[in-house]
Each structure stands twice: as structure tokens, then as C-alpha cells.
């Protein structure tokens, strides 16, 4: 099926079946420059990248039914963009062809059907079926419970969690309680290795059990307001298949000052002695103290500074960001990532220096 015919099917057919429709999305132009060789990263010594990104979200709804789809295009002269879901990303049963255009000059156009799911709103339950986002955890910098499609510190071109093919059911109880369970499947993953979860939420406390690749993760996630701070505790006990057992947790708080200044601080302890990238464990040390400042200079522009700090090296990853809303639905932001520490013997010292800018238009 051609892209034109596919998008026509995506837009026209659901619009006929549902009473309300909504089309939204964005266009982005992203420029990124990498400098330095990372020990755990495959960046060249100096490398530039330009990316054009389009995303359309279609939402069709009626009283008890909703259908949502999201389609993305990336065009770049360099191949360092999201990995091919058909090769490295396991949690999709079937997918579109990854590459639309591929040339010998490293020009590439890829597509991503990121959302494609149906929701039924019953009187006593809610059912979600299809390609959707699945994730848990309230921590700001390192989420121990976000094991299926986690974000790392340097995911610049990705703003939303990649969709996975899943079935999820939500059953409310009392006034503030919710039971939720689900499973994500792929034809290339054996049944015993597929992702599955069950969650119990009451007020601001969530108990969670997850399985992935026969690893078991028991979780607790708490969010509370305390003395003017928004606080959180996210804790996971990991039972590794034919391996170690360990605990990971993040605890922190955020405070909003009266003068438009926001501050957060978070401590993370990583009990794993080895990397488990299939469980979203991409940090290599034990103790981290991360913090961030966000200041709204005017209603149209803001600055932010954050620091991810390994206490065992020691080393740090600094991020400075500026954002400007210069016209209605138009935004510009630029960021700097800078690793501090021994280049050969510390975690963040080995990170590349990254400068990026992002021009975005919402519609």
C-alpha cells in the first residue's frame, strides 16, 4: 500500500465510523552536533545531523468508542535516528516498511506508525487494543519501573514513548482505585518472554508487577504533597531470570517558588552490578544525585538547567536548555549536553558533547 493510500485509509475510514474527529500534530526541524567519543556510545569524534520530522495524530471518538492513530516521518542526511522497529524493536507484531527512501549519500526517509489502537469505554471497565504507549513511574530522571520502552539521557529526536502492540484493561473500584493489567506481544518473541503487567492504584499509591524476558519486577510508586513539595518514591525489586536479585529506587521532590522558579532534586540507587538494557537499566554506577532548575523568564520564554551526577566516579552530565515561543504554535529551543569527569574512567565523562536546536510548529 502506498503512503498516500495508507494515509487516506487512516483519515477517511475512521471518520465515517465515529461522530467526532480531531487532527493534530507537529512539524520539526532538528539540528544536532556531536563531539567526542563515548565509551558506551558509537558517536564519531565530530558529527553533524539535520532531521526533518512530521507527526500527525488522528483521534476519532463517540460515546463509548475511540480510535487513535499517529504517523511519523523522519528525513535526514545521516542515519543516527531511531532504530528500525522491524529489526531492534521487538514489541510490534507487524509494521510498515521502515525505509521509504534510502540513497548512497546517506539520505534517508523513514516512517513510523506510532499509535494505532481502539478504546472501548464500558460501564465498569476500559479496554485498549492495538499500538499504544505503555510505561510506569513518577520519577523525574531515572525510572526504575519503566522497563519496556525507557528513555535514556540523550534521546534528542524522540519526544514521545514509542508505541507497542498491546492489550490493556482498566477496572475502577471505589472512587479513586484502579486495577489495570495487560500484555504486549510480538511474533518474534516467545510467549514466556513477552511483556505483561498487573497494577493496583489507590489514591496516589501504585503496586505493580511486571514480567519481561522471564525477568520479574515488583514495584511501588508513591506520589504525595509534603510541606509544599511534590514528592515521589519509585521502587523496583528485580528478580533476574537465572541471575541476580537487586533493588532500584528513586526518591525526590519538586518545589515551585512564587517567582516562576521551579527546582527538583532526586536520589537514585542502582542495585544492579551489571547493565540490563532489556530492562531499561542504562546507568553503570550505584548512587546518583540529580537536580534541575526551570525558570519562566517571561510568559514566552524559559531557561532550564539540570545535572545528572554519579556519586561513585564522580562525574556529571550537564544540560542547559532555552525555549522561546516566538509566535502562536511556533517554538524554538536549543540545548547543550556536556559531560564532566575522567574521559576514560568515569560514566558521564565519556559522554559526547552535544549541541542541538529544535524548531517546532504545532497544528
**For 302-355, how does the pLDDT look when each residue is reduced to its tens digit (9 = 90+)?**
999 999 999 999 999 999 999 999 999 999 999 999 999 998 889 998 888 999
Q: Copy the grid coordinates of residue 7.
A: 494515509
pLDDT score for 13 = 60
Q: Copy the grid coordinates of residue 26.
A: 507537529
Is 45's pLDDT higher than 70? no
What residues contact residue 352 under an 8 Å CB cut-off, 6+ apart? 34, 35, 36, 37, 38, 41, 43, 337, 339
Q: Is the dihedral of CA 329, 116, 84, 161 positive or negative?
A: positive
Q: From the CB of residue 12, how many other CB atoms can be counted at a distance below 10 Å?
A: 9
Q: Considering the chain, what is the average pLDDT of its residues?
A: 88
pLDDT score for 345 = 87
Using alpha carbons, select from 41, 240, 263 the residue that is nearest to residue 152.
41
Is 286's pLDDT higher than 90? yes
Range 200-205 contact pairs with CB under 8 angstroms and sequence separation of 24 or more: 201/177, 202/174, 202/176, 202/177, 202/178, 203/176
Residue 159 binned pLDDT confidence (cut-offs 50, 70, 90):
confident
Q: How far apart are CA 363 and CA 228, in angstroms?
A: 36
3-state secondary structure of 37: coil
Is 301's pLDDT higher than 80? yes
Q: What percent of the chain has a predicted confidence (pLDDT) above 70?
A: 87
Determine contact, residues 204/109, Cβ cutoff 8 Å: no
Q: How far apart are CA 306 and CA 295, in angstroms?
A: 12
Q: From the CB of residue 50, how many other CB atoms can be counted at a distance below 10 Å?
A: 12
Residue 9 binned pLDDT confidence (cut-offs 50, 70, 90):
low
pLDDT score for 344 = 84
Which parts of 2-107 are beta strand (E)? 20-35, 46-61, 65-76, 99-102
DSSP 8-class letter at 8? H
**Model pTM?**
0.88
**Count of residues making up the chain:** 363
Using alpha carbons, select from 56, 50, 55 the residue that is nearest to residue 21.
56
Determine contact, residues 244/272, Cβ cutoff 8 Å: yes
Using alpha carbons, select from 317, 352, 320, 323 the residue that is nearest to residue 335.
320
Range 220-223 contact pairs with CB under 8 angstroms and sequence separation of 24 or more: 221/136, 221/137, 221/138, 221/145, 222/138, 223/138
Domain boundaries, the chain: 1-116
Amino acid at each position: 500500500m502506498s503512503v498516500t493510500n495508507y494515509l487516506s485509509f487512516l483519515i477517511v475510514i475512521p471518520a465515517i465510523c465515529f461522530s467526532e474527529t480531531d487532527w493534530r500534530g507537529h512539524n520539526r526541524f532538528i539540528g544536532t552536533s556531536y563531539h567526542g567519543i563515548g565509551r558506551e556510545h558509537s558517536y564519531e569524534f565530530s558529527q553533524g545531523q539535520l532531521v526533518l520530522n512530521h507527526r500527525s495524530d488522528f483521534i476519532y471518538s463517540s460515546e463509548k468508542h475511540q480510535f487513535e492513530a499517529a504517523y511519523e516521518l523522519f528525513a535526514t542526511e545521516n542515519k543516527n535516528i531511531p532504530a528500525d522497529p522491524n529489526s531492534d524493536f521487538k514489541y510490534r507484531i507487524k509494521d510498515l516498511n521502515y525505509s521509504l527512501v534510502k540513497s548512497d549519500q546517506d539520505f534517508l526517509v523513514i516512517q513510523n506508525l506510532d499509535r494505532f489502537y481502539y478504546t472501548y469505554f464500558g460501564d465498569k471497565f476500559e479496554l485498549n487494543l492495538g499500538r499504544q504507549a505503555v510505561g510506569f513511574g513518577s520519577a523525574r530522571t531515572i525510572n526504575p519501573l519503566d522497563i519496556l520502552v525507557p528513555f535514556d539521557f540523550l534521546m534528542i529526536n524522540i519526544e514521545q514513548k514509542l508505541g507497542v502492540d498491546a492489550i490493556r484493561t482498566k477496572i475502577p473500584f471505589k472512587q479513586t482505585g484502579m486495577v489495570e493489567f495487560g500484555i504486549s506481544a510480538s511474533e518474534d518473541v516467545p510467549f514466556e518472554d513477552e511483556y505483561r503487567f498487573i497494577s493496583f492504584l489507590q489514591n496516589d499509591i501504585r503496586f505493580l508487577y511486571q514480567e519481561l524476558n522471564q525477568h520479574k519486577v515488583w514495584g511501588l510508586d508513591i506520589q504525595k504533597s509534603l510541606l509544599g513539595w511534590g514528592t515521589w518514591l519509585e521502587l523496583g525489586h528485580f528478580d533476574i531470570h537465572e541471575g541476580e536479585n537487586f533493588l532500584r529506587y528513586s526518591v525526590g521532590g519538586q518545589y515551585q517558588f512564587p517567582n516562576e522558579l521551579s527546582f527538583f532534586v532526586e536520589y537514585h540507587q542502582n542495585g544492579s552490578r551489571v547493565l540490563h538494557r532489556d530492562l531499561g537499566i542504562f546507568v553503570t554506577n550505584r548512587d546518583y544525585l540529580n537536580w534541575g532548575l526551570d525558570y519562566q523568564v517571561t510568559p514566552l520564554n524559559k531557561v532550564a538547567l539540570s545535572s545528572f551526577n554519579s556519586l561513585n566516579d564522580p562525574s556529571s552530565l550537564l544540560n542547559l536548555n532555552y525555549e522561546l515561543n516566538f509566535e502562536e504554535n511556533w517554538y524554538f529551543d536549543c540545548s547543550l549536553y556536556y559531560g564532566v569527569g575522567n574521559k576514560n574512567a568515569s560514566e558521564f565523562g565519556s559522554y559526547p558533547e552535544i549541541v542541538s536546536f529544535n524548531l517546532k510548529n504545532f497544528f
